[in-house]
Structure 1
Amino acid sequence: MTGASRKPLIVVAAGGTGGHMVPAHAVAQRLEGEGFRVALMTDTRGLRYPGLFEGVPRHVLAAGTLGNGGLAGRVKALAQIYEGARTARRLMQADRPAVVAGFGGYPALPALLAAISLRIPVVIHEQNAVLGRVNRLLAGFTAAIATSYRQTRGLKARLARRAVLTGNPVRQDILKLRDLPFPEFNAQSAFRILVVGGSQGAKVLADVVPAAIDLLPPELKRRIRITQQCREADVETVRDLYTRARVAAECSAYITDMVDKLRLAHLVIARAGASTLSELTAVGRPSILVPLPTAMDDHQTANARDVADQGGARLIPQSEFTPEALAGVIRAFADAPERLAEMAASARAAGRPEAAAHLAELIARVAGASTRTTTGGTAVASKAKAAV
């Protein structure tokens, strides 16, 4: 980072997974459009996503995860975090940012710690309905806390004044689908089902969904068109199951035309990660959600419950996700086509398509008050609520 330009600098701290990197990128683009300089501080994994943060200064910091590897693993992680924070501190002293914006996860921790040590205002964004461990650790040191759900578990009452509901930013190519009508669906039309299991796929979906489809009446199976993301190890097995069931299906480890598949889908069966739900609600697609039971702090169940409570999804715990149960739900939807359209409208109503703009505005407001303390930042967050 250099001091050649007088435009305010915003450092974006994110890494690890696409669930952190995609929202961070969407907000960074908005900030650049408003005249801010942007730099990314991330871990080695944060650079593996093509098309993100191109043309933006990118700094790789050492980072570690405190929850893994027992005592020896935690000591090693602490050493890595300390090393990353020292590097970030040197960079920030050379070109002081107006704000450091963190998007959750341990890869963001070194940059956020460096900012706090230098008394640089910090804004954190939480993608899930449960405050993540890093965000929970640092929430008391922030100028503002951007949230994605109406209720965020783990956020202490004394910090509620700093919270601003912005939503979780999604990609522009997904947002473009929002203005398209829900695909026509009736008792005679094709029934297009999209099955996605997150970045790593989901074995339970590979085990249950084909078996459930095979339990459906022959006349319904003839109408079904499946697109299913599977783990690499499961692709051939799942494909063979659909072939034996005489169901038209596309199975792959990575769906290259996800935007088009989402545009055509009448129903989505998925895990309940933050990115998945923000996309489903931004577009307005009904879903059957099967939260990952081992997700940290059970945040996927909290995510899914929020959308289900608003009528946009059907939540089925993994312990109850059987072929028989799923077949019954799919058959009920096929027998009442209007129900899917109603759920689509409810999902769309739960969406927050302006999340990137609102979060960028919040960061810009904090940047405008960058000489204030954390207490002053609380006043900025309160003002931003009215705008967001």
Structure 2
Amino acid sequence: MSQARHYVLAAGGTGGHMVPAAALAAELVRRGHRVALVSDDRGVRFPGLFDGIQTHVLPAGRLAGGPIGWLKAGRQMLAGRAMARELYRNFRPAAVIGFGGYPAFPALLAAFAEKIPTIVHEQNAVLGRVNRLVSGRVAGIATSYDDVARLKPGPKVHLVGNPVRDAILDIRERPYPVLEEDGIFRVLVTGGSQGATILSQVVPDGLALLPVHFRSRLQVTHQARIEDIDAVRAKYAEHGIPAETATYLPDLPEHLAWTHLVIARAGASTIAELTAAGRPAILVPLPSATDDHQTANAREITRAGGARTVAQSAFTAAELAKQMQKLGLDTIALQNAAARAKNCGRPHAARDLADLVESIDAPTAKLPVGVPQRKEAFA
């Protein structure tokens, strides 16, 4: 075991940032290190992700709302930077690791001011705004995809993958659920930590269009936004489709383990979990995502044959029913799609990211095994 050190993880409050941060935190703690989390009000309240981890809320404004909004955001960022500097003087981190999102920005600015080594991790296939702003000053950039838009390769760019929870990695060791021609067909519908209204509007009606012999086999688990949940329940009841509905699924890994097909957004953590577990999917990227990064996220698994991607503008009940029949009526093809999704997974992402973190504050250390370099320059 390496010498025990202190590390600060800084992440915005959405699941896409918090889940990989939590996976890295767990790995670093396993190695005997002490970890602190810096986030916003949402991030520090994520259920079950950071139990036992020291947490801090920093003010972090969003650059929106015109000149007045920018001024307010600037003041909040400066306040967050000052608070982070105070934290670092007491906690004395060996490195600060940013996972994107606005709360990571003041934390990284404070690290630059205190001359603390920094790394950022990019979950998406497009370099995010905060990571773009700091890319020239950090010691390392860890990526989830081999090809990341807005990022040119360089010696400090390392492909590690997107860390997922241990409970998801456990699914990888289990076989794809047995799918008999007349057996139960389990479908998991999830819009990620924020939910997705379009899935709630389309999926129940799309499943209702399936042939009777297929529809009668369905068992659905549907995670929906709180404002959509009653309408979703009513639609499934109207169509006579057995469905468990919830606004949050604390036992999502267990649902994923038994699922034959996932219908979801294409957020970074969703893709990482699908590929780690090996589950085929129908993906509907969020069209308003910054730089259309969800469409970029879905390309690798879609090209490999592990998923089908449908633009939200084309995602209708009829289109979903068509895609479901193409995937679901051929049990061998569905199993093959599951295997192709699994082949896209990077199950050692947390380990490789932790290796990189441990090496970054030791300039003479060799790069950890399994963390490849790429050639220089940033967009």
Q: How does 1:112-127 map to 2 (within 5 A)?
A: 112-127=108-123
Q: Which runs of 5+ in 1 are unaligned?
A: 1-5, 370-375
Secondary structure at 1:182 match in 2 = coil
CA contact (8 A) 1:284 1:345 kept: yes
Q: Which amino acid is 1:190 matched to? A: I
**Is residue 2:3 matched to residue 1:17?**
no
Find the aligned partners of 1:107 and 1:380 in 2 and give their Cα distance.
31
Find the aligned partners of 1:134 and 1:54 in 2 and give their Cα distance.
26
**Given the two structures, how large is their TM-score scaled by the length of structure 2?**
0.93
Find the aligned partners of 1:151 and 1:223 in 2 and give their Cα distance.
39
CA deviations over 1:107-152 (Å, ceiling 9, x no partner): 0111100111222211000011111000011011111100001211
Change beyond 3 A, Cα 1:197–1:367: same
Q: Which amino acid is 2:16 matched to? A: G
Q: Which residue in the other structure is 1:385 paired with?
A: 371
**Is residue 2:339 matched to residue 1:342?**
no
Find the aligned partners of 2:203 and 2:327 in 1 and give their Cα distance.
15
The alpha carbon displacement at 1:383 in A equals: 7.8
CA contact (8 A) 2:155 2:373 kept: no
Secondary structure at 1:281 match in 2 = helix
Q: Which amino acid is 1:170 matched to? A: V
**Is residue 2:309 matched to residue 1:315?**
yes
Change beyond 3 A, Cα 1:185–1:43: same
CA contact (8 A) 2:8 2:95 kept: yes
CA deviations over 1:149-190 (Å, ceiling 9, x no partner): 121111134xx2211111111111111111111011132111
CA contact (8 A) 2:355 2:368 kept: no
The alpha carbon displacement at 1:59 in A equals: 2.5
**Given the two structures, how large is their TM-score scaled by the length of structure 1?**
0.91
The alpha carbon displacement at 1:259 in A equals: 1.9
Secondary structure at 1:141 match in 2 = coil
Q: Which residue in the other structure is 1:3 paired with?
A: none
Q: How does 1:61-80 map to 2 (within 5 A)?
A: 61-66=58-63, 68-80=64-76
CA contact (8 A) 1:143 1:381 kept: no
Give me the CA root mean square deviation: 2.0
**Is residue 2:138 matched to residue 1:152?**
no
Secondary structure at 1:125 match in 2 = strand
CA contact (8 A) 1:365 1:384 kept: no
Change beyond 3 A, Cα 1:85–1:235: same
CA contact (8 A) 2:191 2:199 kept: yes
Moved more, 235-244 or 333-342: 235-244
Q: Which amino acid is 1:93 matched to? A: R
Find the aligned partners of 2:246 and 2:236 in 1 and give their Cα distance.
13
**Is residue 2:35 matched to residue 1:38?**
yes
Counterpart selection for 2:82 from 80, 86, 92: 86
Find the aligned partners of 1:56 and 1:236 in 2 and give their Cα distance.
35
Q: Which residue in the other structure is 1:142 paired with?
A: 138
Counterpart selection for 2:228 from 219, 223, 234: 234
CA contact (8 A) 1:161 1:382 kept: no
CA contact (8 A) 2:192 2:265 kept: yes
Q: Which residue in the other structure is 1:131 paired with?
A: 127
Q: How does 1:277-356 map to 2 (within 5 A)?
A: 277-356=271-350
Q: Which residue in the other structure is 1:57 paired with?
A: 54
Change beyond 3 A, Cα 1:216–1:53: closer
Q: How does 1:266-285 map to 2 (within 5 A)?
A: 266-285=260-279
**Is residue 2:21 matched to residue 1:27?**
no
The alpha carbon displacement at 1:244 in A equals: 2.4
The alpha carbon displacement at 1:42 in A equals: 2.2
Change beyond 3 A, Cα 1:216–1:111: same
Change beyond 3 A, Cα 1:11–1:204: same
CA contact (8 A) 1:161 1:381 kept: no
Secondary structure at 2:150 match in 1 = coil
Moved more, 92-101 or 196-205: 92-101
CA contact (8 A) 1:164 1:381 kept: no
Q: Tell me the percent identity.
A: 50
Find the aligned partners of 2:124 and 2:144 in 1 and give their Cα distance.
6
Q: Which residue in the other structure is 2:5 paired with?
A: 8
Secondary structure at 2:136 match in 1 = helix
CA contact (8 A) 2:218 2:242 kept: yes
Change beyond 3 A, Cα 1:215–1:155: same
Q: How does 1:94-243 map to 2 (within 5 A)?
A: 94-157=90-153, 160-243=154-237
Change beyond 3 A, Cα 1:336–1:113: same
Change beyond 3 A, Cα 1:122–1:345: same
CA contact (8 A) 1:162 1:382 kept: no
Find the aligned partners of 1:384 and 1:344 in 2 and give their Cα distance.
25
Q: Which amino acid is 2:263 matched to? A: I
Secondary structure at 1:242 match in 2 = helix
Q: Which amino acid is 1:49 matched to? A: F
Find the aligned partners of 1:254 and 1:58 in 2 and give their Cα distance.
22
CA contact (8 A) 2:185 2:260 kept: yes
Find the aligned partners of 2:40 and 2:246 in 1 and give their Cα distance.
28
CA contact (8 A) 1:272 1:289 kept: yes
The alpha carbon displacement at 1:386 in A equals: 4.7
Q: Which amino acid is 2:146 matched to? A: R
Q: Which residue in the other structure is 1:47 paired with?
A: 44
